[in-house]
Amino acid sequence: MTAAPAHTRVHDRLAHWANATPDGEAMTYLNRTWTWKEWDERVRRAASGLRALGIGRGDVVSFLDKNHPACVEISLAAASIGAANAIINWRLAGDEVDYAVNDSGARVLFVGVELAPTVAAIRDELTQVEQIITVTPDGAEGDEYEAWLASHEPAEAALDVAEDDVCLIMYSSGTTGRPKGIMLTHRNMVTHTIAAHDGWGFEPGDKSMVSMPLFHVGGSSYVLFGIHDGIPSVMTREPDGASLAGAILAGANRTFLVPAVLAQVLQAGPDAVKLFGALKTYTYGASPMPPPLLRAAMEAWPDTDFIQVYGLTEVGGVATHLMPEHHHDKDHPERLLSAGIPLPGMEVRIVDPATLDDVATGEEGEIWLRSAQVMKGFLNKPEETAKSITEDGWFRTGDIGRMDDGGFVYVHDRIKDMIISGGENIYSPEVERVLAEHPAVMEVAVIGVPDDTWGEVVKAIVAPKPDVETSEQELIDFAREHLAHFKCPRSVDFLDLLPRNPSGKILKRELRKEHWEGRDSAIV
């Protein structure tokens, strides 16, 4: 394989492989495959098209669709001219989509035809969007995106694009219950790409399976791995069983997926288990991995290298990893419950959140991270940024954990009320805000409870108003009218009063206790 030079911007490697191995396979999606030269040309045409729409350095465009190489093309094209792509979760409800698009300041919106009705319903609310371009899954005749690409000549990357220019905006739930735009720079993403696939060992003939949603940092950061190393990628539109199987049959042998997918494969029968045994590397993360599931997977696929990762969108993805050799360390079996060791260049502190002093080895505290991966900040929220990043560059994760004497990080709980279900981040105040609007609800607390498939699922604990009747299903249906389904409670418990401390704060730890007690799983 041709050695690639060092690079500082996310689009540099694509241009390198287009010159070094122009006819090599770069990306396969559904029934289409592009070489490195073809894919680079598409990105450069997109850059030209964006410039024609008045997009330049510091501007934002947005993408709303299920997985599609066009999303990666727009990310790289925007990055190459100093702009950023704000990738929106396609599973959001309409009022959530308009909030994110408007908050990002996007002037151009690319939307999949399946999502076009959602956008049409909120078009009048998208006051900053000047142009909407639709994208079909298969590039069929009449595809606006394909016609737009074809109408522009390939452009060269801007020479003044800097490492600290924002290239991606990813949305994650925030402390107010509204999502926050996380600004990730070229430096963040290039640093992450180099550090996070340390130990992967891509070899000639390998193919990378890209199945995590691109609106998730695990998708948009992971897709850069293949581009970095000049390895072909096979992208699936969704991480369903048939699509994953098709990608493996197409030669994909290294991937990153959430534990819930692994559980579905193991339950699908011997043929599926045998097929997935072709994977050389199975990296998992973004939600808790129940130990019984991990042990079953390791037994089913003894020749597969398992890598666990812990991270956050605010650091571009991965912060620590538990490498294959750590999964089989007979001297330290307890480390199978850890999140592994820090990535190269990643500093970790465990800090007492009250005193802000480092705690002793083995004691619990808040996990702080420092690296060139740490985000530039929250979009349009300097005060929130200042709360999360110290003056000397430490990012306060809001996760509670500890570090052992070997440098292995264990993640036990969250200061923030974040629930991670199937790799999706759900912030409980956002769900509480909706349920509190129901006429029967006096007060509500939302927590995550363990689930063998999804890691965690949402549960609501409701204190109803006196003499007002409601039911579990009524409240779940009410939530589904206003929120994406993955954010809605799967179950509802009723109490006369919610437990509180002397200052009046609801004791969510007490509400969680009965559900998590006795479970020896780490939150990753």
Per-residue pLDDT at 502 exceeds 80:
no
DSSP helix/strand/coil, 316 = coil
Q: What is the pLDDT of residues 346-370, one digit of tens each?
A: 999 999 988 999 999 999 899 999 9
Taking the alpha carbons at both ends of the chain, their separation in whole angstroms is 35
- How high is the pLDDT of residue 453? 86
- In DSSP terms, 413 is beta-bridged to 400
What pTM value is reported for the model?
0.84
| Statement: 425-516 belongs to CATH 3.30.300.30 | yes
Task: Give yes or no for a contact between 64 and 110, defined as CB atoms under 8 angstroms apart.
Answer: yes
Provide the CA 207 distance to its chain's centre, in angstroms: 21
Name which residue leads in pLDDT, 505 or 199. Answer: 199
pLDDT band at 23; cut points 50, 70, 90:
very high
And the tokens for 450? 């363990």
- Locate the domains of the chain by residue range: 35-161, 308-414, 425-516
Q: What is the pLDDT of residues 431-457, one digit of tens each?
A: 888 898 899 998 899 999 999 888 899
Name which residue leads in pLDDT, 176 or 379. Answer: 379
| Statement: 35-161 belongs to CATH 3.40.50.980 | yes
- How high is the pLDDT of residue 89? 92
CATH architecture entry for 308-414:
Roll (2.30)
Same fold, 35-161 and 308-414: no
Helices 428-435 & 472-482 angle (0-180, nearest 10):
110
- CB-neighbour burial class of residue 383 (10 A; exposed 0-12, middle 13-18, buried 19+): exposed
In whole angstroms, give the CA distance from residue 42 to residue 80: 13
Mean pLDDT of the chain: 91
And the tokens for 331? 């001297």
DSSP helix/strand/coil, 256 = strand
Per-residue pLDDT at 521 exceeds 70:
no
- How high is the pLDDT of residue 503? 46
- How high is the pLDDT of residue 523? 40
Task: Give yes or no for a contact between 301 and 282, defined as CB atoms under 8 angstroms apart.
Answer: yes
